[in-house]
Amino acid sequence: LNVSFVSDAFTAGDYCNLAARAVEETISRGHTPLLVGGTGLYIRTLMQGPTGAPPSTAESRALVDALVEQDSHNWEASLARLSALDPHYATSLFPNDWYRLKRALEICTLSGRTVTSYKKDYSSESCPYDFKCLFLS
């Protein structure tokens, strides 16, 4: 708690670093850590490590916002722009998921690589912890 201000950028990588320290501290005291809540992205990042994609910055977000503006904020036009860069990832997006579309454009533009290329081939050996995931509905 109280590790960041709501106005500060806080990434899944930031979470991963802080959570890993907390997990290690808990284990070193002979206890079992219990992680509750959060998003799938944050838990997956802790379990599998960060993807290595470039971090989002104010400048890169402004660049992508300008691209979307060129597309007149039209979903199909911006999706076509992404499809030209990363067709596989573009087909995985739900309609009007602007957050993921913009982030994908940002990654492709910054790195010259596809979002898909950052997806890791994870195995159980890539996680340093023995996780048990429970989902309540």
Query: What pLDDT score was predicted for residue 71?
Result: 96
How far the first Cα of the chain sits from its last, in Å, is 25
CA distances to 2, 28, 48, 65, 72 from 132, rounded to whole Å, are: 26, 19, 14, 39, 45
State how far the Cα of 129 lies from the Cα of 1, in Å rounded to an integer: 22
Query: What pLDDT score was predicted for residue 129?
Result: 77
Query: What pLDDT score was predicted for residue 12?
Result: 82
Q: What is the mean pLDDT of each run of 10 residues along the chain (137 residues)?
A: 80 86 93 83 81 88 96 97 96 95 96 87 62 78
DSSP 3-state percent helix, strand, coil across the chain (nearest 5): 55, 0, 45
Residue with token string 């979307």: 68
Query: What pLDDT score was predicted for residue 121?
Result: 55
